[in-house]
């Protein structure tokens, strides 16, 4: 049976890996060149974080699997990413809203992980946090600008908020894996992030003249334990096609 730490590291690594892949789908398709480049750079940052988390996960597992094996040679049921990040890009408002919800959580989570008793976890979190602070500032600014923009942009942003809200519940789940990491002082209690996340999101949406959905709304769950939507299967099919088709190939 996989160790709790291995599962915990997969959750961290898979989540940013899948979101990075989603953002890469915008490359060459952004509404303006600056946004095209900004999304690509954010995706590259997250890919770098994923490499660090998955490399460490492979070391903890101790079965010889490196970052590439974990990224490219697992099926969807073995992935432990949150459902929020595997949702299709949709329109630009959808992508920005998904990013903002995640960024607002990600910076809080990394700020907790830098306190980890595991020096490798703390080190990865510290490196990632510097970039995620910028991700959060950027997505917050765009939410405000588009929410308070034209009637059309406002309407799209509100629809995106309503669409992605039910996928935010997993951000604050705390199961047996999390509990073990808390006891070992490796991880943190995600439930403690819910209040500051809600406050940050509510303040930003209010500034953007957008309406926050009910905090107690029904939420999807399952991604962190390997129960995913069909969207992940299609994403992995594209992401993994080369190493699956040419096993062991080297550049």
Region 20-29: what's the mean pLDDT?
A: 92
Region 13-39: what's the mean pLDDT?
A: 90
Region 183-189: what's the mean pLDDT?
A: 98
CB proximity list for 226: less than 8 A, separation 6 or greater: 76, 77, 78, 79, 80
More confident residue, 34 or 212: 212
Please give the biggest Cα pair distance in the chain: 55
CB proximity list for 83: less than 8 A, separation 6 or greater: 167, 170, 220, 221, 222, 223, 228, 229
Closest alpha carbon to 99 in 117, 113, 84, 119: 84
On whether the CB atoms of residues 195 and 46 are closer than 8 A, the answer is no
CB proximity list for 225: less than 8 A, separation 6 or greater: 80, 175
Between CA 62 and CA 69 the distance in angstroms is 13
Interhelix angle 119-147/33-61, rounded to 10 degrees, is 160
Rounded to 10 degrees, what is the CA torsion of 145, 150, 153, 154? 80
Between CA 146 and CA 155 the distance in angstroms is 9
Report the pLDDT value the prediction gives residue 2, as an integer from 0 to 100. Answer: 76
Report the pLDDT value the prediction gives residue 195, as an integer from 0 to 100. Answer: 98
pTM of the entire predicted model: 0.96
pLDDT higher than threshold 70 for residue 1: no
Percent of the chain with pLDDT over 70: 99
Q: Is 34 exposed, middle or buried, given 0-12, 13-18 or 19+ CB atoms closer than 10 A? A: exposed
Q: Among the residues of the chain, which ranges form H helices?
A: 4-24, 33-61, 67-72, 83-86, 92-113, 119-147, 151-164, 176-183, 194-207, 230-239, 241-245
Cβ-based neighbour number of residue 134 at 10 Å: 15
- Tell me the per-residue pLDDT of 53-112, one tens digit each, with 9 for 90 and over: 999 999 999 999 999 999 999 999 999 999 999 999 999 999 999 999 999 999 999 999
Between CA 142 and CA 38 the distance in angstroms is 12
Token pair of 64 as six digits: 């010889």
Closest alpha carbon to 84 in 97, 98, 71, 94: 98
CATH number of 4-245: 1.20.1260.10
Mean model confidence pLDDT for the chain: 96
pLDDT-based confidence at residue 248 (cuts at 50, 70, 90): confident
| Domain map (residue ranges) of the chain | 4-245
- Tell me the per-residue pLDDT of 198-229, one tens digit each, with 9 for 90 and over: 999 999 999 999 999 999 999 999 999 999 99
């Amino acid at each position: 049976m996989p160790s709790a730490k291995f599962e915990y590291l997969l959750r961290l690594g898979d989540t940013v890996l899948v979101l990075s892949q989603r953002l890469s789908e915008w490359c060459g398709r952004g509404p303006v060149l600056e946004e095209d480049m900004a999304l690509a750079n954010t995706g590259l940052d997250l890919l770098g974080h994923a490499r660090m988390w998955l490399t460490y996960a492979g070391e903890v597992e101790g079965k010889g699997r490196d970052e590439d094996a974990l990224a490219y040679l697992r099926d969807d049921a073995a992935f432990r990413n949150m459902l929020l990040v595997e949702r299709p890009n949709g329109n630009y408002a959808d992508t920005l809203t998904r990013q903002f919800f995640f960024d607002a959580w990600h910076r809080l989570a990394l700020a907790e992980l830098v306190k980890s008793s595991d020096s490798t976890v703390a080190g990865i979190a510290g490196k990632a946090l510097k970039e995620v602070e910028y991700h959060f500032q950027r997505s917050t600014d765009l939410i405000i600008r588009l929410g308070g923009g034209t009637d059309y942009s406002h309407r799209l942003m509100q629809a995106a908020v309503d669409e992605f809200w039910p996928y935010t519940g997993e951000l604050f789940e705390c199961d047996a894996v999390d509990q073990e990491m808390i006891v070992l002082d490796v991880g943190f209690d995600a439930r403690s992030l819910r209040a500051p996340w809600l406050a940050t999101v509510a303040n930003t949406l209010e500034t953007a003249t957008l309406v926050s959905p009910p905090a107690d709304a029904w939420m999807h769950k399952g991604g962190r334990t390997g129960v995913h939507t069909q969207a992940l299967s299609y994403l992995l099919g594209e992401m993994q096609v080369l190493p699956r088709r040419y096993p062991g190939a080297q550049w």
